[in-house]
Amino acid sequence: MKKTITTLVVAGAVGSAAILAGAYSGLINVGADDPHYPAVHAFLSMARDRSIEARSKDIEIPNLDDEALIRGGAGNYNAMCVGCHLAPGVEQTELSQALYPAPPNLAKIGIDAGPASAFWVIKHGIKATGMPAWGKSMGDEYIWGMVAFISQLPKIDATQYQALVAASGGHQHGGGESQTHNHESLDGSNSDHHGNAAAGGESGRRGIAAADHHGGSAPEADHHSSSSNGDDHHGGSNTSTKGSSASDHHAEPASNAHTHADGKEHVHDS
């Protein structure tokens, strides 16, 4: 028995040393375009699901059929989630194609693991997946609004989606909302890069923007822009309109345009 235990300990030490040596040598490819081995993916998925289940089991679920709650969640979802999790009428975005693990298409599956689990994930995020912890800036009532709205997503079409977003009041969650900067949408319209289609009837006419899940809805300022003194948070300053929150410090001439492999021209901020 003693010999068996000794053998197991030695084998474990050798295995651990081999794994550490492989990791230190750079043998493990951490590129997002190189998927996990099936066994690794299965293990990580199990660990994630069990972790969420254990931490969300005692969460009390409010009335998710409340129309005001659903309506409020529509604006926040459109501002913060479309770029990764898509929406009716939005089949794919640059983010949804590039992230690994691939974010689930909530327009098709809605709430698949239960409302309590969805609330926990939105609030706390998931490590090393690109899913942020929105609870750092968003109150619980607004998170429940997103849960309520997501539960309705598979039941609505693009027109209904746009109507709910238009009636929602936009990106709001009690403070900490990010400002925005402009980016071209999937259909080429000039819309909010971080989640909102162009204001008013423009969103209804042109469709849903290809949005980044980090964004806000306020059209007047870049979410990377400075405070009221005009200073850029990266260390520069807005010399042309110092003190004005309405200017985008990333704005550049059209020479910043670039063309993707699909032949479409995109204008990115510097």
Instruction: Determine the average pLDDT of the residues in 91-95.
Output: 94
- Of 11-20, 32-41, 87-96, 185-194, give the lowest mean pLDDT range: 185-194
Task: Compute φ and ψ for 255, nearest 5 degrees.
Answer: -65, -10
CB 123 within 8 A of CB 133: yes
Cα separation of 149 and 76, whole Å?
9
Scanning the structure block, which residue is given the tokens 């040393």?
17
Taking only the tens place, the pLDDT of each residue in 142-177 is 999 999 999 999 999 999 999 999 999 899 987 777
* DSSP character at residue 257: E
Q: Using CA atoms, how far apart are residues 215 and 234, in angstroms rounded to an integer?
A: 18
The label of the residue with tokens 């993707």 reads 260
Q: Of the candidates 216, 197, 223, 213, which has an alpha carbon nearest to the alpha carbon of residue 150? A: 213
Asked whether residue 24 carries a pLDDT value surpassing 60, the answer given is: yes
Q: Which of 43, 96, 80 has its CA nearest to residue 177?
A: 80
* Tokens read off for 206: 């042109």
Percent of all residues in the chain with a pLDDT value above 90, rounded to a whole number: 56
Helix (H, G, I), strand (E, B) or coil at 180: coil
Give me the pLDDT at residue 42, please: 96
Average pLDDT, the chain: 76
Q: How many helices (H) and strands (E) does the chain have?
A: 10, 4
pTM for this one?
Answer: 0.65
